[in-house]
Amino acid sequence: MIKAYLLDVNQKDLYKLSSMLQHTGKVNVIGMSAYHENVVDRIVLLQPDVLFLDLQLPRHQGVVVAELVKKKLPDIQIVVVTETKQHALWAFDQDIVDYVLKPLEEVRLSQSLERLRQGS
């Protein structure tokens, strides 16, 4: 079972993603947050296999969080879940596993989980 941590400032999106992931039976959501402060320490402590991350955090903090987490947990997989394509090139350069646009769709999320499985 994939252990996941979710970070999204939009609580509605956070709970929807959590529900969709747990509904697959392939993912155990071990933590989630709508706040980016101190989240890197929490993620390092919990040691998830994957971070589902919305980059639309205040002051571009999503990019910073992703880079800090990757530095501390080099083997973690990151899936960006966001509303815009503006960071797609950055994600490609950072070896992000997948880039999923909102609104979330089950078919697209299943494709992302398959990429995670293949990457592990």
Task: Return the CATH architecture of domain 2-119.
Answer: 3-Layer(aba) Sandwich (3.40)
Q: Is the confidence at residue 56, as pLDDT, over 90?
A: no
Residue 22: per-residue pLDDT: 95
Q: Is the confidence at residue 120, as pLDDT, over 80?
A: no
Q: Is the confidence at residue 119, as pLDDT, over 90?
A: no
Band of pLDDT at residue 25, cut at 50, 70 and 90: very high
Average pLDDT of every residue of the chain? 92
Q: For the chain, which residues make up each domain, given as ranges?
A: 2-119
- Mean pLDDT in residue range 52-71: 88
Q: What percent of the chain has pLDDT over 90?
A: 73
C-alpha 80/C-alpha 24 separation (Å) is 19
pLDDT digits (tens, 9 = 90+) for 70-111: 999 999 999 999 998 888 888 888 889 999 999 999 999 999
